[in-house]
């Protein structure tokens, strides 16, 4: 399964949820739990991606019909480890499709909290670069039963600007609610016995188009 990310000439901030450019982007639905089982429509999400000469832009548009599970005292001046235990939207990116075992994890919460991590799957186990600094910026907006979460992931030495037509591998996730394991949703289900998003062989593809 392939997502097409449209090129935009102007940088979009993480908080520009109503930017007209989003209407020209392919909508991608998150409608299943990590296991592949269909998720309740009350937990579905739609994701749109585009790219500019400066960054990858991501917008999550989530149905939110239950109380938010968030920190009482969020800190947004630094990454928040353990964010995955509360409500959060996530994207995993492998810029080199020939090396799925090296990828990057980005998370954004309704509170504005965020996480960026470098991941390497090695024969000895998963290695995490906790100090990875991507320059990620995030934003969120909650209105009645709808939650928007935005991310701007700038190009860098680790995640270089792609060429038009280039293909990367990615997956998209949403964690929502309290009850495990049903709180874990995935665009491309990983189908592991227990919830686990770190399955790069399950990633879909992202094509950078003009």
The DSSP 8-state label assigned to residue 12 in this structure reads -
Q: What integer pLDDT is reported at residue 11 of this predicted model?
A: 87
Mean of pLDDT values over 37-56: 97
Q: Are 89 and 111 in contact, with CB atoms under 8 Å apart?
A: no
Q: What integer pLDDT is reported at residue 179 of this predicted model?
A: 81
Q: Are 174 and 187 in contact, with CB atoms under 8 Å apart?
A: no
Q: What integer pLDDT is reported at residue 32 of this predicted model?
A: 98
Task: Answer yes or no: is pLDDT of 129 > 90.
Answer: yes
The DSSP 8-state label assigned to residue 11 in this structure reads -
CATH topology (fold) of 2-8+26-209: Immunoglobulin-like (2.60.40)
Task: Answer yes or no: is pLDDT of 178 > 90.
Answer: no
| DSSP strands (E only) in 34-177 | 45-51, 55-63, 88-94, 102-108, 114-122, 125-129, 137-143, 146-154, 167-175
Task: Answer yes or no: is pLDDT of 181 > 90.
Answer: no
pTM: 0.96
pLDDT digits (tens, 9 = 90+) for 50-106: 999 999 999 999 999 999 999 999 999 999 999 999 999 999 999 998 999 999 999
What values do phi and psi take at 84, rounded to 5? -65, -10
Cα 134 to Cα 28, 131, 160: the distances in Å are 24, 10, 11
Where exactly are the structural domains of the chain?
2-8+26-209
Residue that is written with structure tokens 């600094």 in the block:
133
The DSSP 8-state label assigned to residue 38 in this structure reads B
């Amino acid at each position: 399964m392939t997502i097409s990310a449209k090129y935009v000439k102007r940088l979009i901030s993480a908080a520009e949820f109503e930017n007209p450019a989003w209407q020209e982007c392919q909508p991608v639905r998150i409608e299943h739990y990590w296991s592949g089982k269909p998720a309740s429509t009350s937990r579905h999400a739609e994701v749109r991606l585009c790219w500019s000469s400066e960054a990858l832009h991501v917008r999550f548009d989530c149905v939110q019909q239950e109380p938010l599970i968030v920190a009482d005292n969020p800190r947004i001046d630094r990454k928040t480890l353990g964010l995955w235990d509360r409500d959060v939207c996530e994207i995993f990116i492998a810029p080199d499709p020939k090396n799925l075992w090296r990828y990057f994890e980005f998370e954004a919460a309704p509170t504005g909290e965020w996480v960026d991590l470098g991941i390497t799957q090695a024969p000895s186990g998963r290695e995490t670069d906790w100090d990875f600094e991507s320059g990620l910026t995030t934003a969120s907006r909650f209105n009645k039963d709808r939650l928007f979460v935005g991310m701007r992931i700038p190009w860098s030495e680790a995640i270089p600007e792609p060429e038009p037509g280039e293909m990367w591998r990615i997956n998209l996730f949403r964690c929502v609610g309290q009850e495990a394991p049903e709180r874990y949703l995935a665009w491309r289900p990983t189908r592991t016995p227990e919830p686990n998003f770190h399955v790069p062989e399950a990633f879909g593809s992202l094509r950078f188009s003009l």
